[in-house]
């Protein structure tokens, strides 16, 4: 029998039991419970210590990651590369699919089946919702969703939760305000779902046409999460412990005029932030295009650059987990 992720759990071997994420795909945050998150936080914390103390080490020596990006990326792509290299592994980068056989019409399924001949794990960013699940079905090696259109961005949500944990110490009891393009923002879709594992209050602040999808609000309501929608920030900013700002996702709009009508809806700057708590944090998945003024960057509450760094440790943890080393 060929051993792959589809039949791994039926094998009478001990190894996969001690490494529960060995061979698994990471497609949606729905795969995680609080216990799994605690585990990821602990491993990520350990990775941070290891990087601080020894920089690079050989946990994944000889392993290869295929980094397959059909959409632009700076952080996700480079932090997965850095994560693999910090763990002693190497990377096949396909950041410009136009130079690959995708431009000749090769399907996503065939592309991942090709890459898994050469790599041990595939990281995929793609413009279509559900693409990561399709790729995972086609592949025998683990597939990690690095963003599927307006669907999910699970590894971002994991690093967001880790950021909150490291910066504030806990998630229970917090009031989290998600601001901006909540309709198209895959990071807030994943983050809201992940936060629903905790006892949090969630505020949604967006223009009317960019509201959080009602299905997602319903999903969280079933779990007993208190959620409130606003069009302006001033009503809920003073109670907020985590303000999560997002970019209006220009590339998801059918026409330029609609984008222009909402693009500058909210701008966080030192004046706005006078109304916020002294001890709270401002996060952003980045890139920003004007929704947080650079004048706020030196405020200790500005956590978005630290958030990017936490992403490295979380992605090291996830790679070690799916490759059976954590
Ligand atoms: N970088 C994040 C994403 O790819 C957020 C953004 O692009 O605005 O979803
Ligand atoms: N946060 C995030 O996904 O950034 P990139 O789009 O630069 O990867």
Q: What is the CATH number of the domain that holds 103?
A: 3.40.50.1370
- Report how far ligand 2's centroid is from the alpha carbon of 322 (Å): 21
Same-domain pairing of 92 and 164 = no
- 206 in Cβ contact with 212 (< 8 Å): yes
Residue keyed to tokens 């009478």: 12
Whether residues 179 and 120 share a domain: the answer is no
158 and 290 belong to one structural domain: yes
Residues enclosing ligand 1, CB less than 6 A? 147, 153, 186-187, 247, 249, 285
Give the residue, out of 286, 311, 315, with the most ligand 2 atoms within 8 A of its beta carbon, to mutate for a pocket test. 286
The verdict on 22 and 62 lying in the same domain is yes
Tokens of 57: 């080490």
Give, for all 326 residues of the chain, the pLDDT tens digit: 555 666 555 443 334 446 889 999 999 999 999 999 999 999 999 999 999 999 999 999 999 999 999 999 999 999 999 999 999 999 999 988 887 888 899 999 999 999 999 999 999 999 999 999 999 999 999 999 999 999 999 999 999 999 999 999 999 999 999 999 999 999 999 999 999 999 999 999 999 999 999 999 999 999 999 999 999 999 999 999 999 999 999 999 999 999 999 999 999 999 999 999 999 999 999 999 999 999 999 999 999 999 999 999 999 999 999 999 98
Q: What atom in ligand 2 is closest to the CA of residue 72?
A: 6
**Do residues 143 and 165 share a domain?**
no
Lateral strand order in the sheet of 242-245:
226-230, 201-205, 175-179, 242-245, 281-283
**One domain for residues 100 and 118:** yes
Q: How far is the CA of 1 from the centre of ligand 1 (A)?
A: 41
Q: How many whole angstroms separate alpha carbon 80 and alpha carbon 82?
A: 5
Give how many domains the chain has, as a whole number: 2
Q: Which protein residue's CA is at the shortest distance from atom 3 of ligand 2?
A: 76
Strand order in the sheet with 143-148: 90-94, 64-69, 121-126, 143-148
Considering the domain architecture, whether residues 220 and 138 belong to the same structural domain is answered as no
> Domain range spanning residue 270?
154-305
């Amino acid at each position: 029998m060929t051993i792959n992720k589809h039949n791994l759990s039926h094998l009478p071997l001990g190894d996969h039991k001690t490494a529960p994420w060995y061979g698994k795909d990471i497609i949606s945050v729905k795969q995680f419970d609080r216990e799994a998150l605690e585990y990821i936080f602990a491993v990520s914390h350990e990775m941070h210590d290891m990087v601080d103390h020894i920089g690079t080490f050989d946990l994944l020596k000889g392993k290869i990651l295929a980094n397959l990006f059909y959409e632009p990326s700076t952080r996700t792509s480079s932090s997965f590369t850095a994560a693999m290299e910090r763990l002693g592994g190497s990377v096949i980068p396909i950041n410009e699919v136009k130079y690959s056989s995708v431009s000749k019409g090769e399907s996503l399924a065939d592309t991942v089946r090709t890459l898994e001949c050469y790599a041990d794990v595939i990281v995929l960013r793609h413009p279509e919702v559900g693409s990561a699940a399709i790729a995972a079905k086609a592949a025998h090696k683990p597939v990690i969703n690095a963003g599927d259109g307006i669907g999910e961005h699970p590894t971002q949500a994991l690093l967001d939760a880790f950021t909150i944990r490291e910066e504030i110490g806990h998630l229970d009891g917090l009031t989290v305000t998600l601001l901006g393009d909540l309709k198209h923002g895959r990071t807030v879709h994943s983050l809201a779902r992940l936060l629903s594992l905790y006892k949090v209050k969630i505020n949604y602040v967006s223009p009317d046409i960019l509201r959080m999808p009602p299905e997602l609000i319903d999903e969280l309501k079933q779990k007993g999460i208190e959620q409130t929608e606003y069009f302006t920030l001033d009503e809920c900013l003073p109670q907020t412990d985590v303000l999560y700002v997002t970019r209006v996702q220009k590339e998801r709009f059918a026409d330029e005029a609609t984008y222009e009508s909402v693009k500058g809806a909210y701008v966080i700057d030192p004046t706005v932030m006078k109304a916020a708590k002294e001890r709270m944090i401002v996060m952003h998945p980045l890139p920003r295009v004007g929704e947080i003024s650079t004048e706020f960057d030196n405020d200790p509450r500005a956590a978005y650059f630290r958030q990017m760094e936490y992403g490295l440790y979380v992605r090291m943890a996830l790679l070690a987990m799916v490759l059976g080393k954590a």
